[in-house]
Amino acid sequence: MFNEGDKVLIISAHPDDDILGCGGTISKFSDKIEFRVIFIAEGTSCRYQDPTCQESLEEIEIRNNYGKLALNYLGVTNYHFYNLPCGRLDQVPLIEINKIIESEIKFFNPHTVLTHLGTDTNKDHCKVYDSTMIATRPCCSVKNVLSYEILSSTEWQFDNTFSPNVFVSLDEDDVINKIKALGHYKSEIKDFPYPRSDKGIRTLSQYRGLQSGNKNAESFKLVRCIV
């Protein structure tokens, strides 16, 4: 699924989804695969009554900087922030998001695309999934499309649970790198038992490892594969 020399496009709704969903995989393959990460929405303004207020705009910039630090820590320097409104992607015409993703695929020409699950409790995630499915129709150049899981979103969808069928085994260093990368998001980390905690990340990694016969793993749902 991941081969040396491949190009992998990671499509995330918000800064931090990339690390939560596939930070360990980035760590494992950063010297073998060319990654590009795009963030469709900004991930912050939904917390403000007025999303255009000065404080909101400042926090968006801070979170984007967290995203850069986290990716740079993992060795990724190819990324872009589109900063569409957080929590309001349902108000953005779907075609606008489609066109962003289609232009990215044309620009980067990835072999594999990693994105959200279409049943997450976070509706921004679902909108990004829908647009990704449209933009990666089999007539495009993308061969593999996979969905990743996001702690505090995917596992809270109790009536339509995530059933992964692709596992990437992780070394201890990969787990540590994922935790440290996410640690750059100072506004998003809380103490255990909150899922987005050091222990929460490690617990999920160990559980996916148990499922796949490894000490640690990151899991994905294969949506489409062309061989």
**Per-residue confidence (pLDDT) for residue 126, from 0 to 100:** 97
Q: At what angle do helices 172-182 and 17-29 cross, to 10 degrees?
A: 140
Nearest residue to 9 (alpha-carbon basis) of 135, 95, 196 = 135
**Per-residue confidence (pLDDT) for residue 129, from 0 to 100:** 98
Using CB atoms within 10 A of its CB, is residue 20 exposed (0-12), middle (13-18) or buried (19+)?
Answer: buried
- Report whether pLDDT(62) > 80: yes
- Report whether pLDDT(51) > 90: no
Q: Which residue has the higher pLDDT, 8 or 140?
A: 8
Identify the weakest region by mean pLDDT among 1-15, 60-74, 180-194. 180-194
Question: What would the pLDDT profile of 89-126 be if each residue is shown by its tens digit?
Answer: 999 999 999 999 999 999 999 999 999 999 999 999 99
Q: Which pLDDT band holds residue 45 (cuts at 50, 70, 90)? A: confident
Q: Which pLDDT band holds residue 50 (cuts at 50, 70, 90)? A: confident
DSSP for residue 221: E
Predicted structure pTM score: 0.95
Q: What is the mean pLDDT of residues 6-14?
A: 97
Q: Domain limits of the chain?
A: 7-225
CATH code, residues 7-225: 3.40.50.10320
Strand 112-115 versus strand 166-169 pairing type: unpaired
Percent pLDDT > 90 in the chain is: 85
Mean of the per-residue pLDDT values for the chain? 95
Question: What would the pLDDT profile of 142-189 be if each residue is shown by its tens digit?
Answer: 999 999 999 999 999 999 899 999 999 999 999 999 999 999 998 888
- Report whether pLDDT(1) > 80: no
